[in-house]
Structure 1
C-alpha cells in the first residue's frame, strides 16, 4: 500500500544542500519551487548508521552497506532537472541490493537550482556520508550553475531550455488522458451537465440520437458544497490547473455561469485527503474565472503527487459550473524537449507537428479541439520554410492515400460572410506565403468558413467546417507557462418574452455583396433597419439605424429598440454586442 505523501515546498535558498531519507520499502518525493529544478549531489542506498530507519532500535550488524553507481543512475534518471520526482527505497526501483540481509534506507542530497550546465550531467557518485553529517563523495562533483531562466521566442538548444521546463502534459484530456468515468462530481444539474462535460474547451454537442450535451459541468442548484473530482490513471505529478466557465449554448443563449473561487484537495487513495497549500503553509484559495470561455491557469507553488484531485467550489456566478484541465505528468515521465509520439520536429524550429491521414479525419471544430487537448493549435503556416517542410513531410501521403487536403487553422468563424479570415491567434493571412485558390473564398452555399490546404495546387480553399478530413496540429517543443489575460466581455442580446413560436428560426447568412448603408455618421456594411422596417421580418435582432451601439429586435409582440452596454457596439455577424464590430463603422 502506498504511504501517505506530504509534499513540502522548499523555501530554503537554492544554493543550500537539501536532504531526503526514505526508509525501505517506502516512497517519497523530492520537490523544488516552480521555476527551479533538482540537481542531485549524492546518493546512498544501504546503511551506515544504526539509528536511522530503526523504529525498534535493533542492533544492526552491518553499518558499512553502500550502493554503487547503479543507484545513482536510477535516482538521477528519475529526478535530475525536474521540479518534482518520486523515489522508492526499493531494490527493483534502484536496480541493486547492496546488502540483502540488512534493512536499508535511501539518502539523497540535492539542491534546487535555476539551471544545470551540460557538464553537470556527469553522474554524481555514491555518498560516503551518513544522514547526520555533511555529505562528501568519492570523486569531486560538478557544481550546478545558477543560470538565468530563458525567455523570448527564438529557438535555443535543449540545455538552455531545461531550466524553465516542468512537466505540463494535459492529464484529463491529453494523449494519455482519462476516460469519462473517472470524472465525478457531488451532483449535476441534469444529465446534459454531467461531470464528463467538464473537459477544457468542450462545447455544446449533440449525440447521434439528437440529445444535447451542454458545454460544461454544472452542479445541482440545491448542492451547498459542490465539488468536481478527477481520478488519474496512475500516480501523477500535478503542477497546475486550468479552468473555464460553462460554454454558452448558441441556440438558447444559456447560460452565463462560472466559478470565481475554489480550493483543491488531493489524495493517493481517494480516502485520505490533503489540502493544497500556499508557500506560507495556508490552504490555497484560487481565483477562478470572470467569464464563460477565457482559460485561467494557476501553476502550483509546489507540485503534488496524487491519484485523485478534488476541486471544491467556494463561490460562483449563476450556478457552480466548470470546465477544467490538470497540468502535470505521470511520475515516471520522460524528459522534456522531445516531440510526443506520433509528432515530428521541424529541424531548428523548436516546433513539433502532427499530420493526420485518412485514418484520422475530423470536422474542423473537432480537429481544433484535438490539437488543443494535445497542448497545440491547428497549424498556422507563416513562413516559406515552414510550408516547404510541411510539403515534403506530407508528400509521402499522396503516394499511399487518396488525399491531398488538410484542415489548417485559418477560419472566419462565427461570421456568416466570406471576409476577415484569421489564424487561431487572430493574425491575418500573409498571401505572399500562402495564397487562396482563384475565386476563393466564395462561401459557397453560405456554409464555408474554414480553410483547407490543398497540396496539389499549393493553395487554400474555404470549405464547410462540418466536413471531415485530415488535419495538421503544431506545438512548441518547449513549454511556456500560460499568462492569464482578462476575457473580452460580450453581451448577447436577449429576445423579449412573448407568445411566439417555440423555435426561433436559424440565422440567415448575410448576403455577399450587400451595398453599405450610411446613416448619420455611421456606415453599416450589411445595412440597417428602422422600427418601421420590421413588418414581415423574422423574429430576431437587426442593426439599428440609430447608431452602431443600438440594435432592433423584431418580435411578434412588438418592435424593441435596444442599446448595447457602454463602450460596446452591435455586430450582426455574431449577433452580439462587443468591443469591436465588423458590420458598423462610426460612433
Structure 2
C-alpha cells in the first residue's frame, strides 16, 4: 500500500519558515525540551520495515540475523526461542564508505541529533568486537534527494563514533533539520561496519511544537542598529542577523556565517555579545 506523505496544513506553515538559519533560531531553542524523543525506538518509534540498509552481512549459518532491525539502539545479542542467533547490531556486507543504515520516520520530523553504539557482544561466544569510529549523517524529505549534516562553513561533519561496544555516544546538531528519512553513513570502523543507533527529535505535528511555531510566526523583530543580510564589502566582524534576535552573523572576507546565540540569549549589536537583555534587538507581537 502506498504511504500518504501529504503534510498537515500547519506543518506546511512550519516548512514555510524553514531555512538552515531559522532552524537555529529561538523557536527550536525553546522547543528542545519537548522535542527530545527517540524516533526509532521511543513511544512514537518505527516498525522493523522502516529500517533498511545499503547491505546486510551474509552468514554461512542460515539462523543468523544481521538485518537492519538489529540496529535498534538497545538491541542485544541472543539466541531467540526459535533458535535464531539475533546478532548484537546491524552489520554491513561490504566494508567501504558507501554503506549506511536508514530509517524512515512515521511522519516528517524535526531531527535534533543522533545516538550511536557499537555491536553488543554475545557472552556465549564473545562475538564480536566491532564498532563505527567516525560517521556522517544524511537526511531527506523524499528518500531521493539527500543532504549531509554540515557545519557553518558548509563542510560535511564527521561525527566521532564509539570507543567501546555499549556506551552510547550522543551528537546534537548545531542546527536541527526537517526530514522524513535519515541515514548513518560510516566512514571509519574497527574490525567491521556494525552499529546500533537512534535519532533524537519529534514529529512536526507535535501539538506543543505547533503552538511554539504559531507563537514564533506572530513575533516581529525590532532592531536598533539595523542588521546584515550579506557580507559583500563589509568589514570583517560580527553583526546582527536580520532573521532573529537570537542570531548573529560573522563576516569574513565577504563570506557570511550565521551563528545562533545560546538558548534564551539575544544578540546585542552594540556590545557584540549574546545577552539575556539585548539593548539593540527585541520582539513585539
Fold shared by both chains (TM-score > 0.5): yes
Counterpart of 1:324 in structure 2 is 197
Is 1:180 paired with 2:48?
Answer: yes
Secondary structure, counterpart of 1:196 in structure 2: helix
1:552 match:
none
Post-superposition Cα deviations, 1:405-455, rounded to whole Å, max 9, x if no partner, equal xxxxxxxxxxxxxxxxxxxxxxxxxxxxxxxxxxxxxxxxxxxxxxxxxxx
> Residue 258 in 1 paired to residue 131 in 2?
yes
CA gap 1:222/1:313 in 2 versus in 1, 3 angstroms: closer
**CA offset digits 1:68-127 (Å, max 9, x no partner):** xxxxxxxxxxxxxx44xxxxxxxxxxxxxxxxxxxxxxxxxxxxxxxxxxxxxxxxxxxx
| 1:37-69 superposed Cα distances (whole Å, 9 cap, x missing partner) | 32xxxxxxxxxxxxxxxxxxxxxxxxxxxxxxx
Give the equivalent residue in structure 2 for 1:288: 161
Partner of 2:26: 37
1:200 aligns with 2:189: no
1:284, CA displacement in angstroms?
1.1
How far 1:286 sits from its partner (Å)? 0.5
Shift of 1:264: 1.2
- Higher-strand-fraction structure: 2
Corresponding position of 1:297: 170
Q: Distance in 2 between matches of 1:222 and 1:298?
A: 24
Call closer, same or farther: CA 1:203–1:163 in 2, change over 3 Å.
closer
Q: Distance in 1 between matches of 2:31 and 2:48?
A: 35
Return the alpha-carbon distance in structure 2 between the equivalents of residues 204 and 2 of structure 1: 35
* CA-CA distance at 1:215 after TM superposition: 1.1
Pairing 1:167–2:52 present: no
Q: CA deviation at 1:279?
A: 2.4
Q: How far does the alpha carbon of each residue in 1:352-398 deviate from its partner, in whole angstroms, 9 at most, with x for none?
A: xxxxxxxxxxxxxxxxxxxxxxxxxxxxxxxxxxxxxxxxxxxxxxx
Query: What SS does the aligned partner of 1:335 have?
Result: helix
Structure 1 residue 334: Cα displacement: 3.2
Matched-pair contact (CA < 8 Å) for 1:2–1:27: no
User: Contact 2:52–2:103 (CA<8 Å) still a contact in 1?
Assistant: yes
CA contact (8 A) 2:91 2:193 kept: yes
Kindly state the Cα deviation for residue 295 of structure 1 after the two structures are TM-superposed.
Answer: 0.3
Q: Could you tell me how far apart the structure 2 residues matched to 1:326 and 1:224 are? A: 21
Q: Could you say which residue in structure 2 is the equivalent of 1:92?
A: none
Per the alignment, do residues 302 and 222 of structure 1 end up closer, same or farther by CA in structure 2, a change over 3 Å counting?
Answer: closer
Whether the aligned pair in 2 keeps the contact of 1:187 and 1:223 (CA below 8 Å) is: no
Query: How many Å separate the matches in 2 of 1:292 and 1:181?
Result: 25
The higher-RCO structure (CA 8 Å, 6+ apart) is 2
Per the normalisation by structure 2, the TM-score is: 0.62
Within the candidate set 227, 231, 246, 2:104 is matched to 231
Q: Deviations over 1:521-566 (max 9, x none)?
A: xxxxxxxxxxxxxxxxxxxxxxxxxxxxxxxxxxxxxxxxxxxxxx
Q: In structure 1, how many angstroms separate the alpha carbons of the residues matched to 2:93 and 2:168?
A: 23
Distance 1:281 1:250, change over 3 A: same
Q: Distance in 1 between matches of 2:140 and 2:119?
A: 27
Q: How many residues align?
A: 194
Report the secondary structure of 1:303's partner residue.
strand
Which consecutive residues of structure 2, in runs of 5 or more, have no partner in the other structure? 7-11, 59-63, 210-285
Q: Quick check: 1:249–1:255 contact (8 Å CA) kept in 2?
A: yes
Contact 1:240–1:303, Cα closer than 8 Å, also in 2:
yes
TM-score using structure 1 length:
0.31
CA pair 325-163 structure 1, distance change in 2 beyond 3 A: closer
Cross-structure match for 2:207: 334
Structure whose alpha-carbon radius of gyration is higher: 1
Whole-Å separation in 2 of the counterparts to 1:214 and 1:305:
32
**Residues 335-374 of structure 1 correspond to what in structure 2 (within 5 A)?**
335=208
Kindly report the root-mean-square deviation, in angstroms, between the aligned alpha carbons of the 2 structures: 2.7
